[in-house]
Structure 1
Amino acid sequence: MEGRIPTVGVEEEYFLVHPGTRAVEAAAGAVVARASAVLGDLVSGEFTAYQVEGRTPPCSGSEDLRKRLTGVRAAVSAAAGEEGLRLCASGTPVIGGDGPPVVGDHPRYRAGVKQYRAMLDDFAICAFHAHVNLPDREAAVLVGNHLRPWLPLLVAMSANSPFHRGQDTGYASWRSVVRGRFPCLGPPPYAESLAHYEQLATAMEESEALLEAGIPFWDVRPNPRLPTLEIRSMDVPANVDDTVALAVLIRALVVTAAAQVERGDPGPRVCGELLRAAYWRAARDGWSGTGVDALTGRILPATVQAGRLVDHVRPALDMHGETEQVTAFLRRLATRGTGAQCQRASAESHGGFAGVVDDLIDRTRPGRGVTPE
């Protein structure tokens, strides 16, 4: 992949909230029907009827990605408005609806409820997924080995779910905690090859820890239907510019790892237990705290880990002209904080969760751009 810029696309999940109660509303079917008239298959429902997913086509440059994503948000936001609702980009619902989530009408969702039971009673969470073009599935699995140690840092950088149904969880990314209790979610296993990866997925399916071996839900996976490597560990950011910056950072990480794989490096054998500990620490403390460097086991500030990541991928960022975009994002994190820090600041300044939701609606608004530093 050296010398070639792979395309990148994103998926974002949003909550639908009532502007009066600020609680989530189970209206995904009506909103998707309206939005699909504009977006076609770039919009769909999600696991619960509280959520809508928007996605971009593959994009070569960051400006194209930003334009496309802004257009997706605009169309979905307009459709929600026609139903008397608002779009809210948060990893968890700040104010919950009545009772358990209304599960979307999809055979896989119904099969999940049957298999995982009460574990899905509060599984209403919104993510951001990045897709980087990588059609060689064998190489994609080995690239995943290189990405594994950096996944906790991506959790910390994207953390945007400190509140859950009217409670302060004490975490920066409660969405990551909700996901972490499932045996089929979280960091992927280290795989020697594509055959080894598929063997592990098959064993997981046979144990009933995974629904389908062909559709694993690990945080890095060769997409089952697209020629992409999909990275899935992040909370959905409220600001479009943050999503775009994370997407191009992830693309640079994939490009760097693919070059290592081409040189015969299968990736570091990071201990699975240490990696899960790093995930948990990142979910709890987020960007403002210290975390576990999964490569060394040392406890380091997230800022130091981020500096190491940028240094690691800088040649790819420079090659694509995206270094300043990523460093500007890090400056925003240093001054404004992550989404979790913004939500807590909003709760303090507005005196409650309703103000948090209002602020999230405003920051999710198409064309809103970055929060001033």
Structure 2
Amino acid sequence: MRNTYFRLLTTGVRLMPMLRTGEGGTGPVTIGVEEEYLLVDPVSRQVSTEADKVVASAAAALGDRVTTEITRYQIEVRTDPHTSLTDLAGQLRETRAAVAHAAAGLGLRIISSGTPVLGQHVPTPITPGPRYARSVATFRALDDEQSACACHVHVGVPDETTAVLLSNHLRPWLPALIALTANSPYWNAQDTGYASWRTVNWSRWPVAGPPPYFESHAHFRDLVDGLTRAGALIDRGGLYWDIRPSHHVPTLEVRIADAAPTVDDTVLLAGCVKALATTALAAVRRARPAPRPRPEMLRAACWRAARDGLGGDTVDPHTGRLHSARAHVARLWKAVPAALSAEEAALLDTAAARLRAQGNGAQRQRAAYRRRHHLPDVVDHLIRTATDTDAVPGPPAAG
């Protein structure tokens, strides 16, 4: 997946707030978001390969903030950096509306789901381009099931050293963020039994899953260099860790989440990441050590969160004990409000109340299916919620 988040050469002014983040121990945390959508036919409800045409149409409104992805089913969009969650939410709504309008012009629709529900083809049709061709040549069948979509949150940092230290502080929260954002229960027209199948799918890559604990910036650089020499990476953009420092812009990228069904869900994720990063940056400035759960336990906790989402137990990565996933996420809520403005905290309170009432994306997808035990109803639900903040499934469509 390409890390094309910010247009470094053409938007230097926009990047300035990010460059200030954390300098001198002060400055607001800036965040930006990458979202990935799947293109679907509203009649067959199967994924469509016309993503390049939709991108070309949407570019009239969005410019280079919209682009193709590795498969011809996918569309990627990105926001500008923001210090305000309210402003971020507004731009996300405008962006989704522009892409949905472009898709509708071709008789198609967008959905925001971690995986396709119907119409998955193996191998997937790969978008032409030298980097994607190199990926297929290197990773072979791993690219055959690449039509998985994520939601990435970028946090502005002053330098890569800070990004590496911030990664250490954020990694213990990965299981909670997986449970919160799980939105990929279906794959290849079947229920996988997982809340986030995308998480499991990505874990097969040679450099994926929870990042290591980095002893220093030099440790990070040496490890990346070694993985590149070993052929496990084709370039820095192929670091598929759940958290990674960007290789060309001053951000730390939190890549753990499935594509979010609604804008409200994306804002909830972004707000949680912003709050956790704000707290962690303060700890970094004070040279406080990061928690260091055992990597085996952290990986197991992420797997358990991907399997059960909010509906079961998860593993405490620090102790290895099982406890309620909702209790684990509740610890996350406690860490959030103090690091946000009153307006942002109120915005997240509303989104969190909806989450408690309706469940995460995976639970909503399964609720849509249970109404008639009809998978096309899941796609119809995802079409409605992609541009509508009301995540309650409406009347099922015919067919």
TM-score under structure 2 length normalisation: 0.89
2:368 alignment partner AA = S
Distance 1:355 1:215, change over 3 A: closer
Deviation of 1:234 after TM superposition, in Å, equals 0.1
Deviation of 1:74 after TM superposition, in Å, equals 0.9
> For 1:235, which of 245, 248, 258 is the aligned residue?
258
Deviating more after overlay: 180-189 vs 292-301: 292-301
Q: Which residue of 2 aligns with 1:89?
A: 112
The answer on whether the counterparts of 1:198 and 1:213 sit within 8 Å (CA) in structure 2 is: no
Q: What are structure 2's unaligned runs of at least 5 residues?
A: 1-21, 394-399
Q: How large is the Cα RMSD of the aligned pairs?
A: 1.6
The answer on whether the counterparts of 2:54 and 2:99 sit within 8 Å (CA) in structure 1 is: yes
Q: Which residue of 2 aligns with 1:61?
A: 84
Q: Which residue of 1 aligns with 2:350?
A: 328
The answer on whether the counterparts of 1:13 and 1:51 sit within 8 Å (CA) in structure 2 is: yes
> For 2:47, which of 21, 24, 40 is the aligned residue?
24
The answer on whether the counterparts of 2:47 and 2:119 sit within 8 Å (CA) in structure 1 is: yes
Task: Answer yes or no: is 1:301 the counterpart of 2:321.
Answer: no
Q: What are structure 1's unaligned runs of at least 5 residues?
A: none
Rounded to whole Å, the distance in 2 between the matches of 1:301 and 1:27 is: 42
Deviation of 1:106 after TM superposition, in Å, equals 2.9
The answer on whether the counterparts of 2:86 and 2:344 sit within 8 Å (CA) in structure 1 is: no
2:129 alignment partner AA = H
Rounded to whole Å, the distance in 2 between the matches of 1:141 and 1:334 is: 33
Identity %: 46
The answer on whether the counterparts of 1:242 and 1:370 sit within 8 Å (CA) in structure 2 is: no
The answer on whether the counterparts of 2:62 and 2:98 sit within 8 Å (CA) in structure 1 is: yes
Rounded to whole Å, the distance in 2 between the matches of 1:77 and 1:12 is: 13
Rounded to whole Å, the distance in 1 between the matches of 2:248 and 2:29 is: 17
> For 1:146, which of 158, 169, 172 is the aligned residue?
169
Rounded to whole Å, the distance in 1 between the matches of 2:390 and 2:298 is: 31
Cα distance per residue 1:273-292 (max 9 Å; x no partner): 11111111011000111101
Deviation of 1:326 after TM superposition, in Å, equals 2.6
Task: Answer yes or no: is 1:174 the counterpart of 2:194.
Answer: no
Rounded to whole Å, the distance in 2 between the matches of 1:236 and 1:113 is: 23
Deviation of 1:332 after TM superposition, in Å, equals 2.0
The answer on whether the counterparts of 1:220 and 1:229 sit within 8 Å (CA) in structure 2 is: yes
Deviation of 1:330 after TM superposition, in Å, equals 2.8
Q: Which residue of 2 aligns with 1:371?
A: 391
Rounded to whole Å, the distance in 2 between the matches of 1:175 and 1:57 is: 26
Deviating more after overlay: 244-253 vs 294-303: 294-303
- Counting only pairs closer than 5 Å after superposition, residues 1-373 of structure 1 correspond to structure 2 as 1=22, 4-213=27-236, 216-317=239-340, 319=341, 321-365=343-387, 368-371=388-391
The answer on whether the counterparts of 2:72 and 2:125 sit within 8 Å (CA) in structure 1 is: yes
Find the residue that maps to 2:274 and give its secondary structure.
Answer: helix
Cα distance per residue 1:131-181 (max 9 Å; x no partner): 111122101100100111101111110000000110110000000010011
The answer on whether the counterparts of 1:8 and 1:132 sit within 8 Å (CA) in structure 2 is: yes
TM-score under structure 1 length normalisation: 0.95
Deviation of 1:324 after TM superposition, in Å, equals 2.7
1:234 alignment partner AA = A
Rounded to whole Å, the distance in 1 between the matches of 2:115 and 2:237 is: 28
Rounded to whole Å, the distance in 1 between the matches of 2:233 and 2:289 is: 25
Find the residue that maps to 2:300 and give its secondary structure.
Answer: helix
